[in-house]
A and B are shown apart, each in its own frame.
Chain A
Protein backbone atom coordinates (compact mmCIF):
# COMPACT_ATOMS: atom_id res chain seq x y z
CA UNK A 1 0.00 0.00 0.00
CA UNK A 2 1.22 3.49 -0.80
CA UNK A 3 2.16 6.03 1.89
CA UNK A 4 -0.63 8.38 0.82
CA UNK A 5 -3.24 5.66 1.24
CA UNK A 6 -5.05 5.00 4.45
CA UNK A 7 -6.12 1.49 5.38
CA UNK A 8 -9.72 1.27 6.45
CA UNK A 9 -10.22 -1.95 8.42
CA UNK A 10 -12.69 -4.67 7.50
CA UNK A 11 -14.41 -4.12 10.86
CA UNK A 12 -15.05 -0.48 10.01
CA UNK A 13 -16.51 -1.45 6.61
CA UNK A 14 -18.86 -3.93 8.29
CA UNK A 15 -19.94 -1.38 10.91
CA UNK A 16 -20.72 1.20 8.21
CA UNK A 17 -22.64 -1.44 6.23
CA UNK A 18 -24.75 -2.37 9.27
CA UNK A 19 -25.47 1.30 9.98
CA UNK A 20 -26.57 1.76 6.36
CA UNK A 21 -28.89 -1.26 6.64
CA UNK A 22 -30.45 0.10 9.84
CA UNK A 23 -30.96 3.54 8.27
CA UNK A 24 -32.58 1.91 5.22
CA UNK A 25 -35.01 0.03 7.45
CA UNK A 26 -35.76 3.22 9.40
CA UNK A 27 -36.40 5.31 6.30
CA UNK A 28 -38.84 2.72 4.92
CA UNK A 29 -40.54 2.28 8.29
CA UNK A 30 -40.94 5.99 8.98
CA UNK A 31 -42.52 6.45 5.54
CA UNK A 32 -45.59 4.55 6.76
CA UNK A 33 -46.12 6.85 9.75
CA UNK A 34 -47.86 10.16 9.15
CA UNK A 35 -45.57 12.87 10.51
CA UNK A 36 -46.69 15.64 8.20
CA UNK A 37 -43.89 17.77 6.87
CA UNK A 38 -41.38 15.89 9.06
CA UNK A 39 -41.66 12.85 6.78
CA UNK A 40 -39.76 14.69 4.03
CA UNK A 41 -37.30 16.23 6.49
CA UNK A 42 -36.47 12.89 8.14
CA UNK A 43 -36.28 11.08 4.82
CA UNK A 44 -33.83 13.62 3.38
CA UNK A 45 -31.79 13.71 6.58
CA UNK A 46 -31.42 9.92 6.52
CA UNK A 47 -30.50 9.93 2.81
CA UNK A 48 -27.86 12.62 3.36
CA UNK A 49 -26.48 10.69 6.36
CA UNK A 50 -26.25 7.47 4.33
CA UNK A 51 -24.59 9.26 1.42
CA UNK A 52 -22.12 10.94 3.77
CA UNK A 53 -21.18 7.59 5.31
CA UNK A 54 -20.56 6.07 1.88
CA UNK A 55 -18.50 9.12 0.88
CA UNK A 56 -16.37 9.26 4.02
CA UNK A 57 -15.57 5.60 4.58
CA UNK A 58 -16.38 3.51 1.51
CA UNK A 59 -14.95 6.19 -0.80
CA UNK A 60 -12.14 7.07 1.65
CA UNK A 61 -13.00 10.77 1.57
CA UNK A 62 -12.25 11.02 5.28
CA UNK A 63 -8.58 10.44 4.50
CA UNK A 64 -8.38 12.29 1.21
CA UNK A 65 -6.67 15.55 0.32
CA UNK A 66 -8.31 18.96 0.58
CA UNK A 67 -8.35 19.17 -3.21
CA UNK A 68 -10.39 15.98 -3.38
CA UNK A 69 -12.80 17.33 -0.75
CA UNK A 70 -13.23 20.47 -2.85
CA UNK A 71 -14.32 18.46 -5.89
CA UNK A 72 -16.47 16.07 -3.86
CA UNK A 73 -18.51 18.69 -2.04
CA UNK A 74 -18.18 21.51 -4.55
CA UNK A 75 -20.40 19.70 -7.02
CA UNK A 76 -23.20 19.42 -4.44
CA UNK A 77 -22.85 23.13 -3.65
CA UNK A 78 -23.22 24.02 -7.33
CA UNK A 79 -26.23 21.69 -7.59
CA UNK A 80 -27.71 23.38 -4.54
CA UNK A 81 -27.42 26.74 -6.28
CA UNK A 82 -29.16 25.32 -9.35
CA UNK A 83 -32.06 23.96 -7.29
CA UNK A 84 -32.39 27.03 -5.04
CA UNK A 85 -32.53 29.58 -7.83
CA UNK A 86 -34.84 27.45 -10.00
CA UNK A 87 -37.22 26.93 -7.08
CA UNK A 88 -37.13 30.66 -6.30
CA UNK A 89 -38.64 31.11 -9.75
CA UNK A 90 -41.33 28.45 -9.49
CA UNK A 91 -42.31 29.20 -5.91
CA UNK A 92 -42.86 32.91 -6.60
CA UNK A 93 -45.07 32.50 -9.62
CA UNK A 94 -48.70 33.46 -9.40
CA UNK A 95 -50.91 31.40 -11.69
CA UNK A 96 -53.06 33.60 -13.88
CA UNK A 97 -56.16 31.58 -14.76
Chain B
Protein backbone atom coordinates (compact mmCIF):
# COMPACT_ATOMS: atom_id res chain seq x y z
CA UNK B 1 0.00 0.00 0.00
CA UNK B 2 1.23 3.51 -0.74
CA UNK B 3 0.57 6.86 0.87
CA UNK B 4 1.54 10.39 -0.07
CA UNK B 5 3.47 12.54 2.39
CA UNK B 6 1.71 15.74 3.42
CA UNK B 7 4.25 17.02 5.92
CA UNK B 8 6.96 16.14 8.37
CA UNK B 9 6.83 18.13 11.61
CA UNK B 10 9.40 18.35 14.35
CA UNK B 11 7.72 18.02 17.76
CA UNK B 12 10.81 18.13 19.97
CA UNK B 13 14.53 17.52 19.67
CA UNK B 14 14.18 13.91 18.48
CA UNK B 15 10.46 13.38 17.90
CA UNK B 16 8.86 13.92 14.51
CA UNK B 17 5.35 13.49 13.18
CA UNK B 18 4.88 12.19 9.65
CA UNK B 19 1.55 13.22 8.17
CA UNK B 20 0.24 11.09 5.30
CA UNK B 21 -2.84 10.91 3.11
CA UNK B 22 -4.82 7.82 4.09
CA UNK B 23 -5.05 5.53 1.06
CA UNK B 24 -8.52 4.48 -0.03
CA UNK B 25 -9.47 1.19 1.54
CA UNK B 26 -7.01 1.47 4.42
CA UNK B 27 -8.79 1.28 7.76
CA UNK B 28 -7.26 0.88 11.19
CA UNK B 29 -8.09 0.71 14.86
CA UNK B 30 -6.58 3.20 17.30
CA UNK B 31 -3.47 1.54 18.72
CA UNK B 32 -2.39 -0.32 15.60
CA UNK B 33 0.86 0.15 13.67
CA UNK B 34 2.21 -0.12 10.16
CA UNK B 35 5.42 -1.51 8.71
CA UNK B 36 7.12 1.09 6.55
CA UNK B 37 9.57 0.24 3.77
CA UNK B 38 12.63 2.29 4.74
CA UNK B 39 15.21 1.00 2.27
CA UNK B 40 14.95 -0.22 -1.34
CA UNK B 41 16.57 -3.55 -0.38
CA UNK B 42 13.46 -4.42 1.64
CA UNK B 43 14.25 -3.24 5.19
CA UNK B 44 11.14 -2.23 7.08
CA UNK B 45 10.49 -0.50 10.39
CA UNK B 46 7.30 -0.39 12.39
CA UNK B 47 5.65 2.86 13.41
CA UNK B 48 2.51 3.29 15.45
CA UNK B 49 -0.31 5.34 14.06
CA UNK B 50 -0.66 8.35 16.34
CA UNK B 51 -3.94 9.86 15.26
CA UNK B 52 -7.53 8.66 15.60
CA UNK B 53 -8.86 7.06 12.40
CA UNK B 54 -9.56 9.88 9.92
CA UNK B 55 -8.77 10.98 6.36
CA UNK B 56 -5.12 11.19 7.31
CA UNK B 57 -2.48 9.00 8.88
CA UNK B 58 0.07 10.23 11.39
CA UNK B 59 3.14 8.30 12.45
CA UNK B 60 5.28 9.28 15.42
CA UNK B 61 9.01 8.72 15.02
CA UNK B 62 11.82 9.00 17.55
CA UNK B 63 14.93 9.57 15.46
CA UNK B 64 17.37 9.09 18.34
CA UNK B 65 18.71 5.76 16.99
CA UNK B 66 19.53 7.46 13.64
CA UNK B 67 19.37 4.11 11.90
CA UNK B 68 17.75 3.21 8.59
CA UNK B 69 14.26 4.21 9.77
CA UNK B 70 15.31 7.56 11.22
CA UNK B 71 17.28 8.51 8.12
CA UNK B 72 14.43 7.52 5.86
CA UNK B 73 11.87 9.55 7.82
CA UNK B 74 14.11 12.63 7.82
CA UNK B 75 14.62 12.32 4.07
CA UNK B 76 10.91 12.61 3.29
CA UNK B 77 9.41 15.68 1.68
CA UNK B 78 5.82 16.70 0.96
CA UNK B 79 4.62 14.89 -2.15
CA UNK B 80 6.88 11.85 -1.65
CA UNK B 81 5.28 8.43 -1.55
CA UNK B 82 5.87 5.84 1.17
CA UNK B 83 5.23 2.12 0.92
CA UNK B 84 3.79 0.30 3.91
CA UNK B 85 1.89 -2.78 5.00
CA UNK B 86 -0.68 -2.93 7.74
CA UNK B 87 -2.49 -2.20 9.87
CA UNK B 88 -1.06 -4.60 12.41
CA UNK B 89 -1.31 -5.23 16.13
CA UNK B 90 -3.94 -5.94 18.73
CA UNK B 91 -2.99 -3.24 21.23
CA UNK B 92 -6.35 -1.54 21.34
CA UNK B 93 -8.20 0.12 24.19
CA UNK B 94 -10.80 -2.17 25.68
CA UNK B 95 -11.46 -0.25 28.89
CA UNK B 96 -10.46 2.85 30.82
CA UNK B 97 -7.31 2.66 32.88
CA UNK B 98 -3.77 3.91 33.23
CA UNK B 99 -1.68 4.35 30.10
CA UNK B 100 2.06 4.00 30.56
CA UNK B 101 4.42 4.86 27.72
CA UNK B 102 8.14 4.74 27.27
CA UNK B 103 9.37 7.20 24.62
CA UNK B 104 7.51 6.88 21.33
CA UNK B 105 5.33 4.24 22.99
CA UNK B 106 3.00 7.17 23.56
CA UNK B 107 1.88 7.01 19.91
CA UNK B 108 -0.94 4.45 20.32
CA UNK B 109 -2.40 6.45 23.21
CA UNK B 110 -2.52 9.57 21.06
CA UNK B 111 -4.45 7.51 18.52
CA UNK B 112 -6.79 6.16 21.22
CA UNK B 113 -7.15 9.65 22.75
CA UNK B 114 -6.54 7.85 26.01
CA UNK B 115 -5.54 9.13 29.43
CA UNK B 116 -4.20 9.58 31.99
CA UNK B 117 -0.84 8.95 30.31
CA UNK B 118 2.25 8.33 32.42
CA UNK B 119 5.08 9.05 30.03
CA UNK B 120 8.72 8.13 30.54
CA UNK B 121 11.32 10.08 28.60
CA UNK B 122 15.10 10.04 28.68
CA UNK B 123 15.56 13.75 28.10
CA UNK B 124 13.56 16.92 28.79
CA UNK B 125 14.33 18.04 25.24
CA UNK B 126 12.25 15.09 23.93
CA UNK B 127 9.02 16.30 25.57
CA UNK B 128 6.18 17.88 23.64
CA UNK B 129 2.72 18.87 24.88
CA UNK B 130 0.28 15.98 25.31
CA UNK B 131 -3.10 16.38 27.00
CA UNK B 132 -3.69 14.54 30.25
CA UNK B 133 -0.11 13.34 30.54
CA UNK B 134 2.51 13.36 33.28
CA UNK B 135 6.17 13.00 32.36
CA UNK B 136 8.87 11.19 34.32
CA UNK B 137 12.55 11.42 33.51
CA UNK B 138 13.89 8.88 35.99
CA UNK B 139 12.86 5.32 36.78
CA UNK B 140 13.05 6.16 40.49
CA UNK B 141 10.43 8.94 40.22
CA UNK B 142 8.19 6.73 38.14
CA UNK B 143 8.33 3.81 40.55
CA UNK B 144 7.61 6.09 43.51
CA UNK B 145 4.64 7.59 41.71
CA UNK B 146 3.17 4.24 40.66
CA UNK B 147 3.65 2.85 44.16
CA UNK B 148 1.72 5.82 45.56
CA UNK B 149 -1.35 5.22 43.39
CA UNK B 150 -3.85 3.48 45.64
CA UNK B 151 -6.11 2.44 42.78
CA UNK B 152 -3.46 0.92 40.54
CA UNK B 153 -4.19 -2.67 41.60
CA UNK B 154 -7.84 -2.26 40.58
CA UNK B 155 -7.13 -0.68 37.20
CA UNK B 156 -6.53 -1.86 33.72
CA UNK B 157 -2.97 -0.83 32.87
CA UNK B 158 -1.66 -0.34 29.35
CA UNK B 159 2.06 -0.49 28.80
CA UNK B 160 3.85 0.40 25.58
CA UNK B 161 7.56 0.89 25.00
CA UNK B 162 10.88 -0.86 24.53
CA UNK B 163 11.21 -4.52 25.56
CA UNK B 164 13.22 -3.60 28.68
CA UNK B 165 10.71 -0.91 29.66
CA UNK B 166 7.73 -3.22 29.25
CA UNK B 167 9.40 -6.18 30.98
CA UNK B 168 10.62 -4.24 34.01
CA UNK B 169 7.40 -2.28 34.51
CA UNK B 170 5.26 -5.38 34.04
CA UNK B 171 7.09 -6.99 36.97
CA UNK B 172 6.64 -3.86 39.07
CA UNK B 173 2.93 -3.54 38.28
CA UNK B 174 2.27 -7.21 39.03
CA UNK B 175 4.08 -6.78 42.35
CA UNK B 176 1.78 -3.82 43.08
CA UNK B 177 -1.21 -6.12 42.67
CA UNK B 178 -2.27 -5.47 39.09
CA UNK B 179 -4.26 -8.42 37.76
CA UNK B 180 -2.29 -10.06 34.90
CA UNK B 181 -5.53 -10.17 32.91
CA UNK B 182 -5.75 -6.37 33.23
CA UNK B 183 -2.21 -5.71 32.04
CA UNK B 184 -2.06 -4.91 28.32
CA UNK B 185 1.39 -4.66 26.75
CA UNK B 186 3.03 -3.74 23.46
CA UNK B 187 6.77 -3.93 22.79
CA UNK B 188 8.68 -2.30 19.98
CA UNK B 189 12.13 -1.15 19.02
Q: Do A and B bind each other?
A: no
